[in-house]
Amino acid sequence: MIFKIAWRNIWRNKIRSFTVMGSVLVGVWALIFVLSFTAGFINSYISSAIANEISHIQFHNPKFVDEKEVQYTLEHTASIKENLSRNPMVKAFATRTINSGMLSTARGSRGIQIRGVVPAEEVNLTHLNEKLVEGVYLDASKSKNAILVSRRLADKMKLKLKSKPILSFQKEDGSSVPAAFKVVGIYELGNAVFEESNVFVRQSDLNRLMGAENLTHEVALLLHHVEDLDTVKSALAAAFPTALVQNYKEIAPNVNLYESQMSVSIYAIIFIVMLALIFGIINTMLMAVLERTKELGMLMAVGMKRLQVFTMIVLETLFLAMIAAPIGLFLGYLTVVYYGNKGIDLSAYGKGMDKFGFSDHIYLSLDVSSFITVTIAVGITAILAALYPALKATRLKPIEAMRTV
């Protein structure tokens, strides 16, 4: 009977009921949008860092990670490559020679990191050939000592295609090697910090100039599924105990920080939005109780118990939330699907975002667990918002309430 009365009561004043439902609907939709935007923003940074820079897992000589000296090369590279090529969980891998040096032009000099790559391997791992905005990729150039520089570095150092900057770097024995390289391509990754400090050359060219043919400082790999990260890392670490095997969380603590803070951010946003929503519902339901003072007094006078009055008010609030919340969730889902595919272009407002590795196109994303969390949060919010108006109704004195005009 209480359920039936509560259901009929919410339709007696449709304007008030639609006001509550509207606030819940908009609140839920806005919450879904903000959560998916935050998740998409963070995911864009993590995905870009993994795809373009650090990959899922890397091999190094343990001393190379600490000191970055070229003599600390990776051992058993051939065995590592053979192991990775046979591993069905590995999507792609690439070997690299890493050296720090100076890039010199008529404009001046700049400290940079030289990445000696195997062009075919790097294509599969980072799709570097697709990041070119001018020129050709390393494997398409017949130039000896070909080099790829970023658009930002080219602008700063006044480089263009066919320019011949001088790279100075060290051999294993500590002696310095100056060599002329020819710019064959200019790339853009969307990360200013990385672009201004990294150039790409052929591993064969860099190794030849360093006086050794089989130098390797790094092996990076991508997995088909990130869920296999710990399993693959543990297996590789056991198979190659002399190498330092690290996943992207260990290589780039900032990426791990963003990833770990995502869940914290989600709960913080939910709390703030629900806190704002709860006051809106309390205000409307309290107004409903005050408007029905005479009616509630009459119900208690004819035998309705205070607990039943309390339950009726709570049920009215829950019914309103149960009608509006699914609509808000559905609209939020459609928004996530639409902008998850199309993306939101922030290029007009996000100048400088690429300086920190963030994309100016955000693709909304939200997992199922977040939708469940929002649903539970709305239910709890509706119950909490109904408590004060319901308690207010139970404290009415029937005789005084019936005299209310």
- Run of H or E residues at 252: none
Alpha carbon 69 to its chain centroid, in Å, reads: 33
What is the model's pLDDT at position 113? 92
Whether pLDDT at 69 is above 80: yes
Report the pLDDT value the prediction gives residue 358, as an integer from 0 to 100: 61
> For the packed helices 368-394 and 306-342, what is the interaxial angle rounded to 10 degrees?
150
Predicted local distance difference test score (pLDDT) of residue 185 = 93
Q: What letter would DSSP give residue 128?
A: G
245 band by pLDDT with thresholds 50, 70 and 90 = very high
Length of the chain in residues, anyone? 405
Q: What is the pLDDT of residue 353?
A: 57
Reply yes or no on whether the pLDDT at 236 is more than 70: yes
Least confident of 57-66, 120-129, 246-255: 246-255
Q: Dmax over Cα atoms in the chain, in whole Å?
A: 101
Give pLDDT, residue 331: 93
- The mean per-residue pLDDT over the stretch 228-233 comes to 91
Q: What are the CA-CA distances from residue 340 to residues 110, 122, 198, 242, 297 (Å)?
A: 40, 28, 31, 43, 52
Residue 385: pLDDT band with limits 50, 70, 90: confident
- Among the ranges given (137-146, 276-285, 306-315, 351-360), the one the predictor scored with the smallest mean pLDDT: 351-360
Measured between alpha carbons, how far is 102 from 287 in angstroms, rounded to an integer? 72
Neighbours of 49 (CB within 10 A): 20
pLDDT at position 298, please?
Answer: 73
Distances (CA, A) of 236 to 89, 212, 232: 12, 26, 6
Residue 233 pLDDT more than 80? yes
Dist. CA 379–CA 209, nearest whole Å: 67
Higher pLDDT, 89 or 106: 89
Instruction: Please determine, for residue 11, whether its predicted confidence score (pLDDT) is greater than 80.
Output: no
Measured over the CA atoms of residue 53, residue 59, residue 63 and residue 68, the dihedral's sign is: negative
Model pLDDT, residue 311? 80
User: Do the beta carbons of residue 318 and residue 9 sit within 8 Å?
Assistant: no
8 A C-beta contact, residue 336 and residue 32: yes
Between CA 81 and CA 87 the distance in angstroms is 10
pLDDT in tens, 266-281: 788 888 888 888 887 8
**Encoded tokens for 213:** 């043919």
Residue 88, pLDDT score: 93
Percent of the chain with pLDDT over 90: 27
Mean pLDDT of 5-19: 75
Q: E strands, 120-262, where? A: 132-135, 146-150, 166-170, 176-180, 182-187, 198-202, 218-223, 244-247
**Residues 6+ away with beta carbon under 8 Å from 182:** 141, 143, 144, 145, 146, 147, 162, 163, 164
Give the DSSP letter of residue 5.
H
Q: Whole-angstrom Cα distance, residue 252 to residue 43?
A: 15
Phi (first) and psi of residue 212, to 5 degrees: -150, 140
DSSP count for the chain of H helices, then E strands: 15, 13
Instruction: Take residue 30 and report the two structure tokens written for it.
Output: 């806005």
Taking only the tens place, the pLDDT of each residue in 323-382 is 888 999 999 999 999 888 887 777 666 555 555 556 667 788 888 888 888 888 888 888
The mean pLDDT value for 147-170 works out to 90
- Residue 144 predicted with pLDDT over 80: yes
Look at residue 359 in the predicted model and tell me its pLDDT.
63
Please report the pLDDT score of residue 399 as a whole number.
65
Dihedral of alpha carbons 112, 116, 120, 125, sign? negative
Q: If we measure between CA atoms, which residue out of 109, 103, 94, 101 comes closest to residue 202?
A: 94
Higher pLDDT, 207 or 350: 207
DSSP reduced 3-state for 48: helix
- Taking alpha carbons only, the member of 129, 111, 243, 219 closest to residue 170 is 111
pLDDT of 22 higher than 80: yes
- Helix, strand, or coil (residue 117): strand
Q: pTM (2 decimals)? A: 0.74
Alpha helices in 131-252 (DSSP H): 151-157, 192-195, 203-210, 229-239, 248-251
Mean pLDDT of 143-172: 90
